[in-house]
Each structure stands twice: as structure tokens, then as C-alpha cells.
Structure 1
Amino acid sequence: MLHGLAAATAALVLTALLAALIRTLMLRFGRAGRDTTPHLGGIAVALATLGVAVAGPLLGVAALGDGVAPLLAAAGAVALLGLIGDLRPLGVRVRLGVEAAAATAVVTLAGLSPGAGVLAVVWIVFVTNAFRLLDNSDGAMGAVAAVTALGLAVCAIADGRPGHGLLLSVLAAALTGFLVHNWHPARIHLGHCGSLFTGFLLASCAVTVHAGAPGARTTAELFALTLLVLTDTVLVLLSRRRAGRPLLRGGGDHIAHRLRKLGLTTQGSAVVLGGAALAATLVALQVHDGRVAPVAVLPLALLVPLAVVLLLRVPVYGPASRRRTPHARTPESAAAPADFAGGRG
């Protein structure tokens, strides 16, 4: 317990310090000094999480546990992929291919059957990018991911996987340290490096921790733990499809943006998203402990289409974005970053 607390504290402080240093360097040297809000803060989260997790065994104070080292290597590769994407936009096929390869390595080591393994790879890649898409509003992604990491840490410890529990606790602490700089008004953003790293590590840990207990309970838990990011992704893709907008081009059409349209502040939107993630995580923990049946997740599943329908009614595009021809471009669409190829969603 003391070792875990020390590791989490170290990750929190280290991330906060690294993020401040990266911001200073980016403001001075990035884009010839024109960066007003740097987007490489994910380097701090990845380095702090990986560094603290590896430092335990090296210092002889904590063991990684079975299967944690390969998981760290795969997550590190995804973080590097994201960093390259931050510096130079990558093609969708390249990025998804690397993510799928990393997910395949994790699933193979987890010992899943071929059928379950294929589904797990697809799920990991989807959740990884869903978390990246959520990085679109100050504090939103960090709050949701930190809550999810803590919930998964509890599941891992309860299932006798202290190494995974420690890793997830360190990740939650690192995200909390980053929120010091990412809370509105954000002074630095995660970027692809941090958001892809976080999403991949959460999804991979979820699969690994639940690998020994497939079935309805596991399905219910994983759905509840990722309810927020899945809802946001479905909302965005459906909204852009209905509006005739390119699916891969970013814009202010996420849950956080719609909540602000309804009158919430940026901070309020992050708190609401974090609170919703906490509520869903508590349901997942109840299912994991066997206190409630997996069917208890059904009300949450019914809330997803209801929330999507209601949020779709919030105008976010304006009349100019309705049903364009495929090649038509407006100043708004030209300036919007691509969700999957670069920039913030």
C-alpha cells in the first residue's frame, strides 16, 4: 500500500513538472515561438507512467507482475506513434495498423482464444481512438480517463493482479498531475501521444484483467467502464454523417461542446463528464464484485441511444454546414483538424 501511494505521488509530481517543462520549451522553440497552447503534453503522461512503473522493479520496491512488462512495451510503442502523429500527421491505415499490431501482442499474451482475441483487438483499437477523440475540451479527457483508471485498478487488485493495479493507479495519478495544466484555461494539451497512450493502456489493461473471466459479466463491466467515450464517439460519427460532414474531420460537435451550448462552462462540462464516468464506473465495480447481476448495466445501455438522440438536437454546425457536396470546402471545414489524421477532435 505504501509503495503504491509513493508511486502514485511520484507520478503526479513528475507529470506536473514535465508538463510545465514541455510547455516552456514548446512556447520558446515550437513552431518558431507561435504555439499559444502546446499540444505535446502527452509526453509527460507517458514518460511519468512508464518511468515510475519501471522504477519499482529497478529499485527493488515493487514488482511489475506477470504480463505488465509487455503491456508497457506495447503502450510505449503506441505513445511513440502518437508523438510522430503530433509532429507529422500520419495516414489512418498506418496508425490503425500499428495500434492493431500492439493490441494483437497484448491479446496473444493474455491467452485469449482466436475468436475472442479478434474481438478484443478490435475493441482495444476502437477504445484507444475513442479516448483520443474525447481529448477535445479542457480537462474532459483527463477527468474521464483518471476515473476509469482508478476503477480498473480496483478490479485488478480484487482479481489478484497487483502489478496491473499499481500501473493503473500510476496512470490515474499521472493524469491528475496533468490536469493541473490542462484544466480550463488549458496551458497545454495531451495531443495524440498522450491520448492514444492513455486509451490504449486502459483498453489493454481492461482486456488483460478480465481475460480469465469472459462472458456476460466481463462484457457488462467493459461496457460500463467505457460508456462515456463510446457514447461520445457514436454521437460524433452519427452527427457528422447526418450533417454530410467528413467523418474524419474534427469539429466542435462532441458531448463537451454540446454541454457548453446548453449553458455549462468548460469546467462544468468536464465535471459533468467526469461525474458520469464515475457513476458508470461504480456500476461496473458492483458487477465485478458480484453484488449486482450483469443485467444491471442494461439501463446504462438504454441511456446511450437516448443521450445521443437528445444531444443530436443541440445545434453545433450552423446552417452553412448542412449537406455539402463531397468536394465543397468552407473556411470552417478547411480550418478544422482531422480527428483521425491529426489535430484535436
Structure 2
Amino acid sequence: MLYGIVAAATALLLSALLTGVLRVPALRLGIVDRRRRRAVPLAGGTAVALATALVAVAGDALGVAPLGAGIGRVVVAAGCVAALGLAADAWRLRRWVTPAGTAVAAALVVPYEETGVPGGVLAAACVVVATVAFRGLDHADGLAGTVGAVGAVAVAVCAAAEVMDGLAALLGALAAALAGFLLHNWFPAQAALGAGGALFTGFLLSSSAVFVRAGQGIGSGAAVLFALTALACADAALVVLGRRLDRRPVARGRPDHLAHRLRRLGLAPRAAVVLLGAGAAGAAVLAVCVHTGRLPAGAAMWVAGAAAVLVLGLVRLPVTPVFRPRQRSASASSQVSERLRVRSG
């Protein structure tokens, strides 16, 4: 218990410190995202991944929180996925590269001896879908960090119920690292996760959930994993369905995610994130109850129904186009300069 508190505090402080330190090199290297007509450095992903991995490796090396069989492989695979996402942030990789790399990583970490080959293949596919969907949550200030922290706490509770203390400590460190990152990411954000941090968080959450549920039934395991990632899946479904209905390319970015559409309804940026975070927390509580046997697996259908209502209710809401300030022509700029010179003269 004492180690868990110390590890969480260390991860939080380390993540907050690293996010602030890495902002400057991210800006200089051009690893940024454009939000509200300003550049937001993608420094949070590296900070969260480093803080989580360092705390987990330290606990395993000291013997106070051994990760357990196969969990070290999950941490290494999540680090590789984060590195791939960071490369996607820094260089314009083809869009299929990150999903393909995530699929390879997921296939290498699934515990086939407990899931069986068919169940393992299905689990790997779920990990890929959840990871890619989670990447889409980094479009709004504070959303990915909030949903990720909620999910990490929920999976940590499930791991603790299975006496998987090392995995629970790892997820507690992830939740704390995301909380430290949120100090810089809350609206208006001074840093963002980027693809590296979003893929790292989504992969670690979903693959850890697979380890917790391994050997306990495919149907109930799928229900728990869906409830834990329901908000990210709903956001991805809304984006794909909306762009297909509008006959636009699915891969081309637009302000048509959940938080964007809620803001179209008049919600403030912070209010939209709090509302979505509360929804993710409710689904996470249901997932914990299903895992511990307090609710049947069919209870996840309530989450699926709520997600479907949310998607269908927002999909036809008009989408505000991205603001792009007009560039002044050379003649217009010279005319403005001449007027200012005449007035000052």
C-alpha cells in the first residue's frame, strides 16, 4: 500500500516535470499540433510513457512490485508503440503504419496459453481497435488524459481483485502519470499527448485488460474490454459514420469528434470534457462490477446502448469547418504599411 502511494506520487511529479521540460524541444523540432490558431507541443506522450515505465521498472527491479509473467513484455511493446507514434508525430508516416505496428505488438503480447489461439487472435484485434480509437481522443484539451486515467484506475482495480499486484501498480503509475500530464493539458492546453502518448495509453490499458481477463471467458472478457474503452469506440464510430454520410474521406481530419459536436451544442470546452469523463467513469464502474461478478456480462449492453444513442444523436449535427485565417497578399500588406506610415507622419 505504501509503495503504491509513493509510486503514484513519483509518477505524477515526474510526468508533470518532464512534460514541462520537453515542451521547448518539441516546439523547436516542430512536433506540434495546431489548436485554436496556436501551436501546442506534443510533449506529454513522451513524459507519460517515460514516467510510467521508469516507476514500473524500478518497482520490479527493487522487488517491491514484481510485474509478473508477461507484463514486462507488455511494457516493452507499449514503449515500442509509443516510439512508433512519436515517429508519426515527427514525420508524416503513412496512415497504415501505426495500426500495422500496433497489430504486431498486440500479437506478440497476448497470453495465448490462457486465451487459446482463437481467443488470442480476437483479443489482439480488440487491442488494436481500442488503441487506434483512443488516439482520436487527443483532439480536445484534457479529454485523452481524463479518460485514460479513469480507465487505468478501473483496470488497476480489476487487477487488484485478481491479486495481480505488479500489474495494478503499473496501471496506478499510468493513472498518476496522466494526472501529472493533465496539469499541462487542461484547457487551454500547454502540451498534448500526441500519437505517441495516446497509442501508449490505449495499448497499455487494453492489453492489461486482456491479461486480467485471460482464461475467464471470451464473452464476458469482451464485455469488460468494451465497457472500459466505450467512449473511445463511440468517438471513432461517430467520426467514421459522420464522414461516410457526408461522403468525405475517413482518414482526413475534421472537427467532428465527440467534444467538437458537444461544443456545437453550446457546452464550454471544460464542461464537454467533464461530461465525457463522467460517462467514461460510469462505463468503467460497470466494467469493474462485471469483472468482479456483481453484474452479469449482459449489463455491458447498457453501455453499448448509451454509446449508440450518443453517436446517432450527434452524427447529423452540423460540423463547423476548421478556421484558417486568410493570408494577406503582398499588395494589401504594402497598402496597410503605407497607411500606417502616412498616419504616423
After superposition, residues 151-300 of structure 1 pair within 5 angstroms as 151-300=154-303
In the TM superposition, residue 12 of structure 1 has moved relative to its aligned partner by 0.3
Match of 1:64, SS state, is coil
Identical aligned residues as a percent: 47
In the alignment, the residues of structure 1 paired with residue 24 and residue 279 of structure 2 have an alpha-carbon distance, to the nearest angstrom, of 34
CA gap of 1:161–1:61, structure 2 versus 1, over 3 A, is: closer
Match of 1:230, SS state, is helix
Q: Does 1:43 align with 2:42?
A: no
Match of 2:72, SS state, is helix
Amino acid at match of 2:30: R
Match of 1:92, SS state, is coil
Q: Does 1:150 align with 2:149?
A: no
TM-score by length of 2: 0.88
Corresponding residue number in structure 2 for 1:74: 77
Asked whether the equivalents of residues 31 and 42 of structure 2 are also in contact (C-alpha less than 8 Å), the reply is no
Corresponding residue number in structure 2 for 1:83: 86
Q: Does 1:31 align with 2:14?
A: no
CA gap of 1:286–1:31, structure 2 versus 1, over 3 A, is: closer
Q: Does 1:117 align with 2:120?
A: yes
Q: Does 1:307 align with 2:310?
A: yes
Where do 5+ consecutive residues of structure 1 fail to align?
A: 322-329, 333-345
Instruction: Indicate the structure (1 or 2) with the bigger Cα radius of gyration.
Output: 2
Indicate the structure whose relative CO is greater, using CA pairs within 8 Å and at least 6 residues apart.
1
In the alignment, the residues of structure 2 paired with residue 196 and residue 310 of structure 1 have an alpha-carbon distance, to the nearest angstrom, of 28
Corresponding residue number in structure 2 for 1:327: none
Where do 5+ consecutive residues of structure 2 fail to align?
A: 326-345
In the alignment, the residues of structure 2 paired with residue 24 and residue 255 of structure 1 have an alpha-carbon distance, to the nearest angstrom, of 30
CA gap of 1:32–1:259, structure 2 versus 1, over 3 A, is: closer
In the alignment, the residues of structure 1 paired with residue 115 and residue 261 of structure 2 have an alpha-carbon distance, to the nearest angstrom, of 39
Please tell me the root mean square deviation across aligned C-alpha atoms, in Å: 2.1
In the alignment, the residues of structure 2 paired with residue 242 and residue 32 of structure 1 have an alpha-carbon distance, to the nearest angstrom, of 32
In the TM superposition, residue 92 of structure 1 has moved relative to its aligned partner by 2.7
Match of 1:37, SS state, is strand
In the alignment, the residues of structure 2 paired with residue 97 and residue 129 of structure 1 have an alpha-carbon distance, to the nearest angstrom, of 10
In the TM superposition, residue 18 of structure 1 has moved relative to its aligned partner by 0.1
| Alignment partner of 2:67 out of 59, 64, 68 | 64
Asked whether the equivalents of residues 134 and 198 of structure 2 are also in contact (C-alpha less than 8 Å), the reply is yes
CA gap of 1:110–1:252, structure 2 versus 1, over 3 A, is: farther
Corresponding residue number in structure 1 for 2:11: 11
In the TM superposition, residue 41 of structure 1 has moved relative to its aligned partner by 1.9
Asked whether the equivalents of residues 110 and 211 of structure 1 are also in contact (C-alpha less than 8 Å), the reply is no
Q: More deviation in 200-209 or 58-67?
A: 58-67
Asked whether the equivalents of residues 11 and 52 of structure 2 are also in contact (C-alpha less than 8 Å), the reply is yes
Runs of 4+ in structure 1 off by over 6 angstroms are: 32-35
